[in-house]
Structure 1
Amino acid sequence: MTEVGSVGGVAAGGRADPGAVSVALQVLEQMGLTPADLVGAVVAPRVPTFAELVPQALRAVSSEASRRSYRSYLTKAVAVWGSRRLDEVRPEDVRDFLGHVRDTVVVRRSNTGGSNAMRNAYQALSYLYRHAVQRGFIGERQVVLRQVEMPRKQSSRRHAVSPQLISEIFRVARETGVDPELDVLLLRFHLETAARTGGALALRVRDLDVDQSLVQLWEKSGTRRWQPVSPTLMGHLLEHARRRGARDDGDKVFRRLDGAAMSRKRYGSLWDRLRGRLESVRVAQVSTHWLRHTTLTWVERNFGYAVARAFAGHVVSQSSLHGSTQTYVKAGIGEVAAAVQALTGERHPLAPSADSAGAVEGVSTAVGLPRVVDGSRERVGLREWLRAEDARTAGLGSLFEWVLALYEEAERAGKPRPDGDVLVEITGASVYAVRAAQRKVADALRRRAQDDLVERIRRLREEAEAAGMPRPNRAALAEATGVTVSAVRGALARLNMPARERGQDERQRALVERVRLLCREAERAGRPWPGRRALIDATGETAHAVRLAQADIRACRGVRAD
């Protein structure tokens, strides 16, 4: 066997031959390598294929939104390069892949000809190669994207929406849909806060600071910030959350009629409905992000770039053309609160006191909305307009009183009660809101008639006792009051009922109405009626009370019975 030292590799004493080392270094230099490259080649693990590395890399993504974005493009990469190792892909292969992504892009309302899809695909590949470098599968010099330029980003087509179109968007949202209250509140939230959709979806009860009129927004990349809002918006957010079943600090604020938390699909259905009724929204493909552009444009024009950047929640870029100056001139939360104060015309607790006097006058005409007053048009501030919208859709309280007053006025005039179409035209509310108000009014009038009948029977019995006569029987009471014997039987049962039982009866009636509403919403959505456990969770009542309510509804032959 030949000794290593005999060929000049290692001397007899175990030390390397200097001449051999010099020759080896010269050969490495000619090959463009270093001794470290040889050591790395010895200890580096096998380079994985795309099919092997992509699932592992996706599991390591911290953000769910980024994971969804990366998955779609890396899945395409696996379909094209699944059996190839990461170090086998060439720059021309990457360019061909980006072209494939551009040609197969799904056309959406924000389509830019595939340029954004190419950028997203490039970023997904960049993340995959960074993951491989961090795990030691490849070296920095093996990242093929270093030789491929990132596709250029096109300028955004979004811009500030005109006041007239904003007014039309709110009008259609108020007058259409199953849940106009949620739609209008959601639009107002985005218009006043300039928040992204993720901020609204993640908003929980614990994120509402009532004392300081602040909401905590959790947005993309896990960032969070405190955003000032008007006291009016804060009050409506709290009322909306509590009325729809939010009981714990961790419960979501925006909730559907059935009490479940709102999902991202709500935005899709809302804007699809708006595009179907407003041609300008359909042609321009307006979305929630356009409201963010509208508010931030107004803030920048009136309060400057620094306040607009803080209002939007943008971080200061380390590579900004303005250099380090931006670190020292960034706006504080007090300045953002002052902008909110001027935007809404409401005093904000964190705004400097010097800004309170000119808050209303500082409202820009860019967010004023035209309104007809006594035949003439005037501009109104955002605060007054939003309050007018909320008064129409903040629930059935005001609409219920409106319909009840119209019914009473028709009865006094000896005319028939106005039907649903007439009420929609008079009130400007949606068909669904009017129907719900009509049901509440009918129930209230029925209870009022029952209370009047009970009172009349009580007086008749007292008069008979005062005259020393026996109490009139059911037939005599029916004849005296002009109602049926069955109605008299019910009134006598209520009259003889203890006060505590009467209170329980009223509570059970309210529960029946709420269960009927939940069942009706399930029917409209094409879902089966909610089960007993779901009703218990939604109403907070006992299983026995829910069972009785379900029995009452079945006895009335369905949820539409009065």
Structure 2
Amino acid sequence: MTAQPQSSSAPQADLDAARLLLDRLGVSAEDLLATPSDRPPVPTFADYIPIVSAAVTDGTRRVYGSHWNRIENHWGHRRLDEPAPSKIKQLVGYIKTHVITRRNARGGRSAGEHLIAALRRLYRYAENDRIITPANNPATKVAKPRRLPSTRCALADTRLAEINQVAATTGNDPALDTLILRLHTETACRRGGALTLRPQNLDPTQCLILLREKAKPTAGNPSPPPS
């Protein structure tokens, strides 16, 4: 006589409640069946930040390095899986109220935004290293502060003329100063673009300039010089 498979004795309501609880915890059935050896032990921020810092590019390290240092100063002894999203919000609030106040300060919004971005980059590496799961990533559950409208505006023609007048009549090398000002006026390049400019980047035939800003070449097209 063939034995019939036994059906689950758990009521449907209990199964639904269990599924809901697992969804809220970010845990799957595979996570429950996996052995602890499938995932490496969770390191502290003090242990893991140097690993990520050594893995990123120099440019990324310059952007996030100071924020990773702040995170390490506050949470260096804590494991990556300890801070909840509410704790991240508290840290963002603390950083926003303790930034250096400058003339163009905007209430620490930029510092808070960069801190969350630094945490997201850190936790993305932790996901790739299988230290945490995407569902348990607290940084993705915290929204960045909304950016305020930019206060930057273009210089008026009269003010730009005054700047060029001062550069052309004062200083140690007025000719070079006015040439640099014209370069920025005509191409809108950054300081880095002017500093990396070389003679081979100039095309006098087509009146083109090859600008290299943030390791990316861009073409500038200044207007022809007056005859």
**Shorter-chain TM-score above 0.5:** yes
Q: For 2:188, give the aligned amino acid.
A: A
Give the match's secondary structure for 2:67.
helix
SS at match of 1:217: strand
Q: Hey, what does 1:81 align to over in structure 2?
A: 75
Partner of 1:70: 64
1:69 Cα deviation after fit? 2.3
The aligned counterpart of 1:512 is none
For 2:64, what is the secondary structure of its paired residue? helix
Q: How does 1:276-295 map to 2 (within 5 A)?
A: none
**Distance in 2 between residues matched to 1:70 and 1:98, nearest whole Å:** 15
Secondary structure at the aligned position of 2:81 is classed as: helix
**How many angstroms does 1:83 deviate by?**
0.9
Identity, % of aligned positions: 37
- 1:87 is paired with a residue whose SS is coil
Distance 2:190 2:161 in 1: 20
Return the alpha-carbon distance in structure 2 between the equivalents of residues 108 and 174 of structure 1. 31
Structure 1 window deviating more from structure 2 (139-148 vs 157-166): it is: 139-148
Partner of residue 134, structure 2:
140
| Cα shift at 1:50 | 1.2
Amino acid in structure 2 at the alignment position of 1:49: T
Offset of 1:150 from its aligned partner?
0.9
User: 1:89: how far off?
Assistant: 0.6
1:213 aligns with 2:207: yes
- Are the aligned partners of 1:28 and 1:34 in contact in 2 as well (CA < 8 Å)? no
**C-alpha deviation, 1:121, in angstroms:** 1.6
Aligned mates of 2:82, 2:7 — CA distance in 1? 33
Aligned to 1:224: 217
Partners of 1:40 and 1:127 in 2: CA distance: 27
Q: CA RMSD in A?
A: 2.9
CA offsets, 1:114-169, max 9 Å, x none?
11221122211121111222222211111112321210101111111111110111
Contact kept, 8 Å, 2:120 with 2:140, in 1: the verdict is no
What is the match of residue 55 of structure 2? 60
Please show how residues 285-364 of structure 1 align to structure 2 within 5 Å: none
In the alignment, which of 94, 97, 107 is matched to residue 103 of structure 1?
A: 97
- Letter of the structure 1 residue corresponding to residue 157 of structure 2: P
Q: Could you say which residue in structure 1 is the equivalent of 2:41?
A: 46
How far apart, CA to CA, are the structure 2 residues paired with 1:116 and 1:183?
33
SS at match of 2:56: coil
Q: How many correspondences in the alignment?
A: 213
Separation in 1 of the partners of 2:77 and 2:19? 33
Which residue of 2 is the match for residue 165 of structure 1?
A: 159
The separation in 2 between residues aligned to 1:19 and 1:46, in whole angstroms, is: 38
Counting helix residues as a fraction of each chain, which structure ranks higher? Answer: 1
Q: TM-score, normalised by structure 2?
A: 0.80
Distance apart, 1:71 and its partner CA? 0.9
Q: Which has the higher contact order (CA 8 A, sep 6+)?
A: 2
- Residues 94 and 148, structure 1, Cα contact 8 Å, conserved in 2: yes
Tell me which amino acid in the other structure corresponds to 1:207.
N
- Structure 2 distance, partners of 1:162, 1:30, is 60
> CA, structure 1 residues 60+20, in 2 after alignment: closer, same or farther (shift >3 Å)?
farther
Question: Judging changes above 3 Å, is the alpha-carbon distance between structure 1 residues 186 and 101 closer, same or farther for their aligned structure 2 residues?
Answer: farther
Please, which runs of 5 or more residues in structure 1 have no aligned partner?
Answer: 1-17, 233-382, 385-562
